Amino acid sequence: MVLQILRDITASSDANNLMKAVSAARDWLAVHDAHQIEYAEAIQMARDQHHVDGEVELDDEVLLSPGEDPGIYISAWVWVYFPDNNEGDDDDNEI
């Protein structure tokens, strides 16, 4: 959703379409902020249940995807280790 709004803003040459895209961005941010407050307890539960330093981490501002079921998807960073297969390379973690 955010990426589409940004595409609309950058692709818009007409002021009316630009205002629509900016309005959509404001609406999305309002919902995002409301979700951060409404689901603060669930976000903390995710940190308590799944956070492992250097392996699974949550940002201060997470993306949320509530649904009809009792639960919510919460974005997190998951570290993926690349074994050192290229001895002598400067960046051992480059794909």
Q: Averaged over 10-30, what is the pLDDT?
A: 74
Q: In the structure encoding, which two tokens stand for residue 76, read together? A: 């997190």
pTM of the model: 0.55
Query: What are the pLDDT digits (tens) for 34-45?
Result: 777 778 888 899
- pLDDT confidence bin for 71, thresholds 50/70/90: confident
**In this model, does residue 87 exceed pLDDT 60?**
no
Contact 43, 71 (CB under 8 A): no
- Can you give the pLDDT at residue 90? 57
Angle CA(18)–CA(20)–CA(21) in degrees, nearest 5? 65
